[in-house]
Structure formats: structure tokens, C-alpha cells
A and B are shown apart, each in its own frame.
Chain A
Amino acid sequence: MSDVAVECRGLTKSFDVVSAVRNLDLAVEQGEILVLLGPSGCGKTTTLRLIAGLEVPDAGSIRIGNQPVAGEGVFVATEKRRIGMVFQDYALFPHLSVSQNIAFGVPQRASETRVQDGLRVVGLCGVGGRMPHELSGGQQQRVALARALAPHPAVLLLDEPFSNLDAGLRLQVRSEIRDILKANRLTAIFVTHDQDEALFMGDRIAVFNAGSLEQVGTPEELFFAPASRFVAEFMGQADFIRGEITEHGLQTEIGPVLQPVTLAVGQRVEVAIRADDVSLVADPQSKAKVLGRSFRGAVNVYRVRLPSGRIVHSLQPHTLKLADGLLVRVQAEPGHPLAHFAI
């Protein structure tokens, strides 16, 4: 038995002339939640559908468990792949009751117990007799999960499952579903375009850009050590300032940052910096200027223009008030290495 639940090698798929997925390598560990994250049209949903067998790859191979399911002259039909799938629009059968929906993928003799188990797991005991349209959005979502889990799939595929829920419900449902997945040690591949959701759901995250993988790693790795500017930007709230590698480390336009560097001395770089890494001190000699403040309750976020014209944000306690137009000294105090990219 291998520990790899799903493995894709050299996976490629185009529609008409547009290439959706290009030469993709990806592995999911047993019991892991892997999130496929990226902007719309980046190929993450196509990857999921290739794994599900709903699309046929142009090239490359897919294995589920030890079994090759696509490529190498093999194509196993969706229904033989032992996958469970939760669709963006839930895809509950409107002509079947909740129980019948959950029992759909289960052999007749086991269906009674599986339906009861399924309803219990998702906390919906007693609604088995209802029709899907009689349920709320959150309940439909959970029925879709119970239905996908009932046949005991080897891997669960979730395609933007929370995008049809409103914001408050989304937070609640996603933590419920993560608990269910973890409690049952399920392997899951989860597609989303929401980085916040990805950080919350994923054991690991695979960031897609234009049909290829940018980076695969834990949420912390992606957040603190993005491998590319695209990842740093997509993971959110980063400003980019200019800098250069010197003998002493990283020299930026807001001062030096002491940290190990790998690039050659003299290399010009862009440094990703987040609002919590930036401190401000009023200083009439400085050429950086406060442009505005946005009040976020406990904290204030200031927008500051650097002499180079670049904008950075700075997170400050709500007790610190700086007037618009005030000249300030801007310093980087990250407490961790800053991600930087050669330009």
C-alpha cells in the first residue's frame, strides 16, 4: 500500500485551442485535504474533473490509490473510480427525497444503514423524507456531502462547494465540513478561488496560475514563503517595494532587513511586505506621506506613499492616530524573513 491517494503526472488538457491544464504533477497523501487554489479559469476545476473522469486528459496519467485510472492506454469510467464528488451547485436530484439521494450510490442491501449514518454524520437526522427544495442552502450542502460520502469513496472531490452560501453560513459550514473530513480521516481535494477558505481548509495548498502549478505547500509556507510574486499577491494583502541584495542582507527602500539571502549580491529585487510588518513614526524629515486611514475596529490601517511612489499599508493600534498628509518614517519590522523576488 502506498501512502499516496491520488497522483497526477504530466497531466495536460485543452479545450478547442485553449489549454486548461499544462503538464501538471500533483500528489495527494492519504487522509490529507489538498486545496487547489487559483483565480477563475486557472485550470483547477479542470484538474478536479480530470481526476473524477468527467474529462479525458490529452496527455499524462492519473492514479487513484494503486490503480491507474487515466493515461498509459487506460481510461476508467467515472463510476468505477471510487470517488465522491460535491458539486458547486450541489446537484441534488430534484425528483428524489433526501434519503433517496444519499442512497443513490449505495448497494440496495446496505442503503438503510448508510442513509442513517450519513444523515447522522452531517447532523440532519429526521429530514430524510424531505425533498431537496424543501431544505435551506446549508442543509442542501450537507446532504450533498452525505451523498458523496455514503459509498465510502477512496477520495472526496469538492468543487467550490461553499460558493453558493452567504458569508455567515459559509464560515459555519466550512468548519463543520472540515471537522467531518478530519474525524473520518478522509482524503479530499478541494477547489476554491478564495485564499481565506484555502488557508482554513487545506492541510496543503496547490496554487494554480494559467494551467500550471505555482507552488504546493502548507498554508504557513505559502503565506510566509511564497515561491513567486504571483503566489505572494494571490495569498493576499501584500505590497511590493524595491530592494537590492547587499553583503549584509536585504536592503529595501524602507531600510535594511536582516535575513539570510540566497540571491547574488547586487541583484535587484521586489520585496513582499504586509501591513503587520510595517511600522510608522512621525518624522518631518521623511519623504513618506500618510495618504489615508481606514478604521477596522481594533486597528487602523494606514496607506502610505513612499518617496519612490510605491504604496505600502501599515497596521497600527487604534490608539495611534496619524493625520492625512503627515510625513512619517517607514520601517520594516517583520520578525520573520521577507519574501523577495528577482526582477
Chain B
Amino acid sequence: MRQLSFWRVSGWRWLLRGAAAAVLALVLLPLCYLLVRASEAGPAALQLLFEARTLRVLARSVALALAVPLLSALLAVPLAWLTTRTDLPLRRMWAVVTALPLVIPSYIFAYLLVSVLGPRGLLQQLLQPLGIERLPDIEGFPGALLALTLLCYPYVLLTVRAALLSVDPALEEAGRSLGLSPWRTFVRITLPLLRPALAGGGVLAALYTLRDFGAVSVMRYGTFTRVIYIQYQSAFDRSGAAVLALMLVALTIGLQALELNTRGRARYHRGHAAAKRKPMLVHLGRWRWPALLLCAAVALLGVGMPAAVLLFWLVRGLTLGTPLPALWNATGNSVYVCLVAAPLALLGALPLALIAGRQRSGSGRLVERVAYSAFALPGIVVGLALVFFGARYVPAIYQSVFLLQAGYLILFVPEAFGALRAALGSVNPSLMEAGRTLGRAPAQVLRSVTLPLMRNGVLAALAIVFLTAMKELPATLILAPPGMGTLATSIWGAVTQAYFAAAALPAVLLIGISSVPLAIFTLREAYQ
């Protein structure tokens, strides 16, 4: 009897551990396989590491990953301050609008940017009557910087806004009472309190930049992701791509480790979350006009311009006539693949989140570290590794939709983990213990207490994974079975042939459909 209950408890624990180990093994598979692949190349791989060509790729990637977060912070801090701490007109609207670029995939945004600002783009056509025959080239570093900054600044904006909202107003009031001017209070008190948020948001932006494939490819700027893809497509020696992919992963995982460390220190400003009192709003006076101009300019470039241009191409595409059946087919494929991927990623992430929730245990901390680090795996790397691995060891699923689903699982388990972990973290652990003391076994407590309380977090995780999976491009390009087009790959196909009008309708569909679950979730939460 006693022995039985003992085994029942550990049975559950082992089930959880087994599931978590299986998921982690799958997530780490690409990395391990790339190591094997690169080591097969032997000394040639080492040589490649120090070739001038490789170093140039490294330099370009690092330059972009430094410039984008810096420029994003310069945009985000004033926007965050204006929308939380001042009497800026239409404050709430600006807060929503400036966060919108998050839903736009980078390849769509970059293509819209090129189609407007390119040497013979829409802007040039507008300026033609003035005798301007050609605009300066935006491809390369400036174009990539502009596109990625406009796509990334919302990450910094959201973290800084959250930090500003959670700073205890009493700290700033204390600064004023000690004789500091409002400006010096901001510099000496508020800004240092924002440092963890700035670091966190900045690392997110840098990670996005390093992982991004779409924008740098459209802008023809040879960072790791673009060069890896070109090598994969053209070269017979694939270990070169493997070595580059490993270098990229080393960069992103290093960055992610940095972010985890800033997150640890970031706690001190959340400690003041209990302060419900709202800070006094700064009266902008005449300064509200330049402030409004800044918000409008960012909104115009990040949201207004892409929307208008997309509409323009959409109308032109429809009047020219688009092959609709292929499009419906692609839409169906996208929705189907993502509807499978989202719950699958959630299921995979659940055991990890449950184990990581036991912070006291060493295994909990380890799982948390690994899962967060896996977030740094770029889609191109996962795609490349799986395609090598599948071709060599599991020909049965090579070029099948299962390989694509495996890729999505690897890419999105860390994302689902993040959302679930946050949801689990907000459930008071003594509630689970109370369930146990009232005679329920761990699995029953999970079903009757933990999961119901995590429901919002679970729904949010589903919505976020669905959105990200719809937008995903590089892994889909490599892993989707031949003949199975998705919205992302159809847009990509049209864009690479500079057939902008044909890309517009799938782009509208992609943004629309992928945002539906998130919009429903957000509205539901606002309603509650």
C-alpha cells in the first residue's frame, strides 16, 4: 500500500521527466547534428572559419546587430516616455499604433520598403516630373538597418514601457524632493531604473536581427542567414554552410545568455509592482507639437507607409489578375500547418514549463536555461540541420510535411515555453500545494488547479505560436515538401522575382489571418 503510493508519485515525476527529455533532445538535435557535420569537414572547417570571406560575413552581422538595437533604443525611449508619462494628445492610440509593426513579417516589410524607396521605386516615380531619374540605392547596410530598426524598435518600446509603468513614482518624487530638476530626475533616477529593460529589449532586437533572413535577403546584405542560404542552394560542399550556421548559433546563444543575465537583475524594478499609484503626467505645452511629429513620423514609416503601399500593390495585382487557385491552396496549407504546429509546440513546452517551475531543483534551472537558449536558434539553422539529418538518416520523412512539423516544433517550443512559463509563474505555488494537501494527486492538481489558472497564458501561447509560424520563412523554404507552397513561400517567390503586385494579396492574407487569434485573445482579455 505504502510502496504503491510511492511509486505512483514517482511514476508521474518520471513521465514528466521523460517527456521533457524527449522534447529537449529534439530541440538540441539540429545543433548536435551541425557539430557532427562540421567536424566531418575536419581541418577544412577550421580553415573556413578564418577565411576573409567568413570574417566579412561576421563583421556585417555584428555591425547590423549592434546598429539596429542602438537606433531602436533612440526611437523607443522617447516614444515610451511620451506615451506613459506625458499629456501627449491621443496617447493610447500612439501606444497601440507604434507597437503594430510586430505583426509584419520582415520580408514583406523589406519588400514594401524597396518598392517605395528603391532607385526606381514608387517615390522616384512620384518625383519623376521634377526630373529625378534615379534615387540612391538603399540596398545593403542602410536598407537593412532601416527595415530592421522599424521592425525591431517595438520590442524595445514594449519592455521600456512596461518598466516605466512599473517604476514606483515615489522614487522620482524623492528625486524631485532632493532638489533635482525633472530632466535631471529622468537622467539620474528613471534612466538607471530602465537599464535592465533597455538591455533586455536591446538584446531581443539584436537577436531578431541576427535570426532574420527575410529583410537582409531582400536588401541583399550578406549576413550569416543570407550567405548560409546561398551556400545551401548552390554549393555541393554543405559542411561550409554547417560551419557558418554554427558560428551564427554561437553568436545568438551568447546573446541569449547575456539576456538571461540581465533578466536576473531586472527584478528590482518589478519589486515595486505593488505601487498602484500613477505618476504625475508631464505637461508638454508647446513641446507637444514636435512630440506629435515624432510619433506621426514613426507611425507613418512603420505602419502607414507599408499599409498604403500594400494597398497600392494589392489593387494593381487584382486589376492585373492573380492566379487565385494557387493562392487558396497556399492559404490552406499555411493555416493547416500552423493549426497543427501551435498545439504541438504547446504540448512539447508544457512538461518543460512544469519542471522549470520547480525553481529550487537543479533540473528545473537546467531545463529553463536550455529552453531559453533554444529560443536563439535561427530558423535557417534549424531548417538546414533537419534537411541534412533527414536526407541522411530518416529518408522516410525527408521531403515530407513531418520534417516541416519537426522544424516548427524545434523553433516554437522555446517560444511556447516562454509564454507558459510566464503563465505558470503567475500561479501561486501554494495553490498547487493546497491541492495536494486536499488529497489530489499531482496529475489531478495539474488538471483541476494549474491548467484552469493558466488558461489565459495557454491561449496567449497558442495565438503567439500561430502568428510566428505563419510568418516563418527560412525553415519553411528549406523544409516544405516540393509542391507544397505556403503563403510565406508564395510571397517570397514573387518578391525574389521583383513581382511586387503578385506578392501583395498573399501578404495581406498572411498578416490578416495570422493576427486573428491574437486579436481575438487581446479583445477577450480587454473584455474580461
Contacts and interface: CB of A to CB of B under 8 A. Distances in A.
Interface of A: 15, 52-54, 67-68, 74-80, 83-85, 87-89, 91, 93-95, 104-105, 147-148, 151, 157
A75 B440 contact: no
B390 interface: no
A88 B433 CA distance: 12
Nearest to B438: A105
B436 interface: yes
Nearest to A84: B437
A147 B433 contact: no
Nearest to B440: A79
B434 interface: yes
Interface stretch (B3-11, B196-204, B341-349, B507-515): B3-11
Interface of B: 2-3, 5-6, 8-9, 360, 428, 430-431, 433-442, 448-449, 452-453
A80 B428 CA distance: 22
23 contacts: A68-B2, A75-B6, A75-B9, A76-B2, A77-B6, A77-B442, A79-B437, A80-B439, A83-B437, A84-B437, A85-B433, A87-B433, A87-B434, A89-B428, A91-B428, A91-B430, A93-B434, A93-B449, A95-B453, A104-B440, A104-B448, A147-B434, A148-B438
Given A68-B2, A77-B9, A89-B428, A148 B449 contact: no
A74 B6 contact: yes
Contacts of B438: 79, 84, 104-105, 147-148, 151
Contacts of A67: 2
B454 to A, nearest CB: 10
B104 to A, nearest CB: 36
A189 to B, nearest CB: 13
Given A68-B2, A76-B5, A91 B433 contact: yes
Nearest to A153: B437
A115 to B, nearest CB: 13
Given A93-B449, A105-B439, A148-B437, A80 B431 contact: no
Contacts of A85: 433-434, 437
Given A93-B449, A94-B453, A77 B441 contact: yes
Contacts of B452: 95
A87 B430 contact: yes
Nearest to B430: A91
Most buried by B among A54, A147, A148: A54
B449 A54 contact: no
A144 B9 CA distance: 26
A319 to B, nearest CB: 47
Nearest to B2: A74
A15 B437 contact: no
B386 to A, nearest CB: 39
Contacts of A77: 5-6, 8-9, 436, 441-442
B360 A105 contact: no
B118 to A, nearest CB: 54
Given A79-B436, A105-B439, A151-B438, A91 B431 contact: yes
Contacts of B440: 79, 104-105
Nearest to B452: A95
B222 to A, nearest CB: 48
Contacts of A93: 431, 434-435, 449, 453
A147 B433 CA distance: 13
Contacts of B435: 93, 104
Nearest to B433: A54
A160 to B, nearest CB: 12
Contacts of A75: 6, 9
A167 to B, nearest CB: 20
Given A89-B428, A91-B430, A78 B2 contact: no
Nearest to A144: B434
A74 B1 CA distance: 11
Contacts of A76: 2, 5-6
B434 A78 contact: no
A153 to B, nearest CB: 8
Contacts of B436: 53-54, 77-79
A53 B435 CA distance: 13
Shortest Cβ-Cβ A-B pairs, 5 listed: A105-B438, A78-B436, A91-B430, A91-B434, A85-B437
